[in-house]
Amino acid sequence: MILINCPYCGERDQSEFSNGGEAHVARPENSENLNDKDWGRYVFYRDNPKGIFYERWVHTHGCRKWFNAVRNTSTDEILKIYKLNENPPSKESFTNTLKTPSGEPKVGSGNFTVKK
């Protein structure tokens, strides 16, 4: 189970939060001129990386505020939490622990976080 450090309330159990999917998805500016393909891309397509993922969370059973997080989806380790009005940290500031695209972390799937 993940502990999430809410920037407003502090560290709480993940079950208090709801995930809002990929962060920083901008609504296209010219949506009235967009073709079906590009509109479909905006509505249905989201990043799904194994590794570094920028995502949104909301503290549903707490302060009910939204914030962003950077998480490694191969280990569930939360690398950074930042508020909505803060700039996202650059991807280069994190090291991806995966050697191959479908590879697993050294200590077995997901156990990395626990062991540390």
Partner 1 sequence: MWKSPEPKKTYDVIVVGGGGHGLGTAYYLAKEHGIKNIAVIEKGWLGSGNTGRNTTIIRSNYLWNESAFLYDHSVKLWENLSQELNYNMMFSQRGVMNLAHNEHDIKEMKRRISANRLNGLDTQWLETKEIKRLVPIMNTDNLRYPVLGAAYQPRGGVARHDAIAWGFAMRADEMGVDIIQNCEVQSIKTKNGKVEGVKTSKGFINAKKIAVVASGHTSVLAKTAGVRLPLQSRPLQALVSEPIKPVINTVVMSNAVHAYVSQSDKGELVIGAGTDGYNSFTQRGGYDVIEETVRAIVELYPIFGKMKMLRQWGGIVDICPDASPIISKCEVKGLYFNCGWGTGGFKATPGSANVFAHTVAKDEPHKINAAFNLERFSDGRLIDEHGAAAVAH
Is residue 39 a contact residue for partner 1 (CB under 8 A)? Answer: yes
The C-alpha atoms of residue 70 and residue 57 are separated, in whole angstroms, by: 10
Residue with structure tokens 């909301």? 58
Distance separating alpha carbons of residues 48 and 86, to the nearest angstrom:
23
Please provide residue 74's backbone torsions phi and psi, each rounded to the nearest 5 degrees. Answer: -90, -15
Choice between 73 and 94, CB closer to partner 1: 73
Q: How far is the CB of 76 from partner 1 (least distance, A)?
A: 5
CB of 22 to partner 1, least distance (A): 8
Pairwise CA distance, residues 51 & 64, whole Å: 27
CB atoms within 10 A of CB 82: 16
Q: Using CB under 8 A, pick the residue from 26, 27, 32, 48 that binds partner 1.
A: 48
Residue 53 near partner 1 by CB under 8 A: yes
Residues near partner 1, by CB under 8 A:
1-2, 13-15, 18-19, 21, 36-37, 39-41, 43-46, 48-50, 53, 55, 71, 73-76, 100-103, 109-110
